[in-house]
């Protein structure tokens, strides 16, 4: 296992933006200055938004694998860091696009109902942004908008907490498949089977450092590769935002809206629908890939998984950087854009290490779980099962009835699924107890 050591000075650096055109650098600076927030969060949010607007309209081809510009971004910052307002600004064009699509959907739906033609397919709302939704509803949105969607949660803890609510749906494993663009098959009891080919779903949200452990710190979360799939921004301490009357200039707002809307409707198939990573740019990527392979040799399983995901993200990020660069109409990623993407991945690796260390330190401080006593186990099982009688229950588990009675009387509220009112006692007389050796 590698011993992670973080240089505090490195965590005070930011995601670079030198590969972006001056127009998009101006947008980043305007958002940061207006909302007095971390530049890291703004750039990551910008990339997630642009990647979603592009969706599956083009694929990034490195000669061996093909990737869509799908990102999972999590901004880690304490309450009061002004995480939400910058994201709302960046997502506004997609929200406007959804509003326009919804009006069109209502119009088509009205015409469909007026026609009364059951043989034609019912219109579908092509939604891009979703927030709080069940796995089934999310799958339906993915099916209705095959180009891709973005799940935005201001506080990602709420999304993670929902996993327990839908534990039988296999939601977590489904999300892992979505990240890899593996086909999803939804088998329903009361409806036709739903096949979603090469699903695309970016995720954007934030989380407070104080809830990282309870959200991502379980054995399951740390072992199945889910956490390692995130691009964490974890900026150093940001000065508190003071009141300011400054607003984002209308010209900046218009530039951003026009750009996002245009790339969300542009037909990239005219140019072949492929963005290539080849030549000198491919050599830059190979060097970065091999550097991470070397790091894996001395890393534990968790960080090995992080490095593997960064090898994928380097290509996805480079594709988006190309669209935000100076020559987006070229079909080739430049060596400079690939080098820029690799430097960004170095930043995300440092943030991933910071998250990992925080999780490890928190787990070490957690008190060890106390094992239940024999009496507690018996009371838990009895109160949860409500058997016919204490005698029958005692015979079934091989102890005396008085021992069962003593355990139940001692722990009347202990159940397998939490605490509740004590169950009514059975008809046996338990008023006299004798000492029993079991």
pLDDT of residue 228: 95
171-222, pLDDT tens digit by residue?
788 888 899 998 888 776 666 778 889 999 999 999 999 999 989 988 888 8
Whole-model pTM: value is 0.80
DSSP 39-84: HHHHHHHHHHHHHHHHTTSSEEE-SS-EE----EEEEE--TTS--H
**Same-domain pairing of 266 and 391:** no
- For the chain, percent helix, then strand, then coil, each to nearest 5? 55, 10, 35
Residue 4 lies in a domain: no
**Same-domain pairing of 227 and 244:** yes
Residue 436 lies in a domain: no
Which sign does the torsion angle of CA 249, 236, 179, 21 carry? Answer: positive
Write the Ramachandran bin of 225: left for phi over 0, alpha for psi from -120 to 50, otherwise beta: left
CB 12 within 8 A of CB 236: yes
Q: How many domains does the chain have?
A: 2
Secondary structure class of 202 (helix, strand, coil):
strand
| pLDDT above 70: percentage of residues in the chain | 87
**Same-domain pairing of 150 and 293:** yes
pLDDT confidence tier of residue 426, bands split at 50, 70 and 90: very low
pLDDT of residue 424: 34
pLDDT of residue 11: 45
**Same-domain pairing of 281 and 411:** no
Enumerate long-range contacts of 364-373, CB under 8 Å, 24 or more apart: 366/213
Q: Which residue has the higher pLDDT, 176 or 256?
A: 256
Q: Which residue has the higher pLDDT, 236 or 341?
A: 341
Residue 438 lies in a domain: no
Is residue 9 pLDDT above 60, yes or no?
A: no
**Separation of alpha carbons 39 and 100, rounded Å:** 30
**Same-domain pairing of 230 and 335:** yes
**Same-domain pairing of 204 and 321:** yes
**Separation of alpha carbons 340 and 405, rounded Å:** 70
State the CATH number of the domain containing residue 24: 3.40.50
CB 93 within 8 A of CB 46: no
77-108, pLDDT tens digit by residue?
998 888 899 999 999 999 999 999 999 999 99
**Same-domain pairing of 344 and 387:** no
**Same-domain pairing of 184 and 149:** yes
Residue 61 lies in a domain: yes
Residue 433 lies in a domain: no
**Same-domain pairing of 316 and 398:** no
**Same-domain pairing of 391 and 278:** no
**Separation of alpha carbons 323 and 438, rounded Å:** 74
Structural domain of residue 392, as residue ranges? 374-419
CB 313 within 8 A of CB 96: no
Q: Which residue has the higher pLDDT, 182 or 370?
A: 182
**Same-domain pairing of 95 and 135:** yes
**Separation of alpha carbons 121 and 112, rounded Å:** 9
Residue 326 lies in a domain: yes
Burial bucket for residue 313 (CB in 10 Å: 0-12, 13-18, 19+): buried
**Same-domain pairing of 379 and 325:** no
**Separation of alpha carbons 101 and 96, rounded Å:** 9
Which residues, including other chains, have CB under 8 Å from residue 86's CB and lie 6 or more apart? 31, 32, 35, 37, 41, 42, 45
Residue 434 lies in a domain: no
């Amino acid at each position: 296992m590698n011993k992670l050591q973080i240089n505090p000075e490195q965590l005070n650096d930011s995601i670079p933006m030198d590969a972006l055109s001056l127009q998009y650098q101006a947008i980043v600076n305007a958002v940061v200055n207006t909302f007095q927030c971390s530049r890291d969060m703004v750039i990551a949010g910008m990339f997630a938004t642009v990647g979603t607007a592009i969706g599956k309209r083009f694929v990034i081809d490195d000669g061996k694998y093909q990737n869509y510009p799908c990102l999972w971004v999590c901004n880690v910052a304490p309450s009061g860091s002004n995480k939400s307002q910058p994201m709302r600004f960046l997502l506004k064009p997609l929200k406007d696009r959804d509003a326009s699509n919804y009006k069109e959907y209502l119009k088509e739906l009205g015409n469909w109902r007026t026609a009364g033609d059951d043989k034609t397919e019912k219109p579908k709302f092509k939604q891009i942004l979703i927030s709080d939704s069940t796995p089934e509803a999310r799958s339906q949105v993915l099916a209705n908008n095959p180009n891709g969607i973005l799940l935005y949660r201001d506080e990602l803890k709420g999304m993670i907490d929902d996993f327990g609510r839908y534990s039988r749906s296999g939601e977590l494993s489904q999300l892992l498949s979505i990240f890899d663009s593996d086909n999803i098959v939804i088998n329903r009891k009361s409806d036709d089977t739903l096949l979603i080919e090469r699903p695309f779903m970016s995720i954007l949200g934030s989380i407070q450092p104080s809830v990282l452990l309870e959200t991502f710190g379980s054995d399951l979360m740390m072992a199945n590769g889910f956490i390692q799939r995130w691009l964490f921004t974890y900026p150093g301490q940001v000065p508190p935002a003071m009141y300011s009357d400054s607003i984002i200039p209308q010209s900046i707002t218009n530039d951003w809206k026009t750009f996002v809307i245009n790339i969300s409707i542009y037909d990239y198939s005219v140019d072949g629908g492929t963005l290539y990573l080849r030549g000198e740019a491919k050599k830059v990527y190979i060097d970065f890939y091999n550097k991470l392979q070397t790091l894996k040799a001395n890393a534990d399983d968790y960080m090995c998984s992080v490095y593997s995901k960064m090898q994928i993200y380097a290509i996805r990020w480079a594709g988006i950087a190309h669209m935000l660069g100076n020559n987006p109409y070229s079909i080739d990623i430049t060596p400079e854009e690939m080098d820029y993407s690799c430097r960004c991945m170095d930043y995300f690796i440092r943030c991933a290490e910071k998250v990992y260390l925080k999780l490890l330190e928190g787990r070490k401080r957690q008190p060890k779980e106390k094992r239940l006593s024999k009496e507690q186990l018996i009371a838990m099982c009895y109160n949860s099962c409500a058997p016919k009688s204490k005698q029958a229950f005692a015979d079934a588990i091989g102890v005396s009835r008085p021992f069962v009675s003593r355990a139940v009387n001692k722990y009347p509220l202990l159940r397998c699924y939490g605490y509740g009112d004590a169950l009514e006692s059975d008809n046996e007389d338990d008023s006299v107890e004798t000492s029993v050796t079991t």
